[in-house]
Amino acid sequence: MANNCPECAGKMKYQPDIKHLVCQSCGLSLTRGELEVYWQKVRNERGAEGDAVDRAKSRRKEWLDWYSQSKKEKENY
Ligand SMILES: [Zn+2]
């Protein structure tokens, strides 16, 4: 999977002369590191890992809501 094109899922072929993986279908060329970053980005957009990030964000928001709420309550007393 890691060697498939993140854009079109085509086969990526390593070109040693340019040190890039080149997609055989759409011509996208990336270094191995770039390909990994690209895949992470694609996965995040699709939500596999993005879910965890969103959950962490909403937890933080809940906490902030609770925090500002309890602060307000204290001010009222
Ligand atoms: Zn491609």
Amino acid 73: pLDDT:
73
Q: What is the pLDDT along the chain (77 residues), one digit of tens a residue?
A: 458 898 899 999 999 999 999 999 999 999 999 999 988 888 887 765 556 667 777 777 788 888 888 877 766 66
Q: Which domain holds residue 37?
A: 12-76
Is 51 within the bounds of a domain?
A: yes
Exposed / middle / buried, residue 51 (Cβ in 10 Å: 0-12, 13-18, 19+): exposed
The closest of 24, 13, 70 to 3, measured between CA atoms, is 13
- What is the total count of domains within the chain? 1
Give distance in angstroms: CA of 33 to centre of ligand 1. 16
Is 7 within the bounds of a domain?
A: no
Is 66 within the bounds of a domain?
A: yes
Amino acid 66: pLDDT:
85
**pTM of the entire structure?**
0.53
Give distance in angstroms: CA of 51 to centre of ligand 1. 26
Is 2 within the bounds of a domain?
A: no
Is 70 within the bounds of a domain?
A: yes
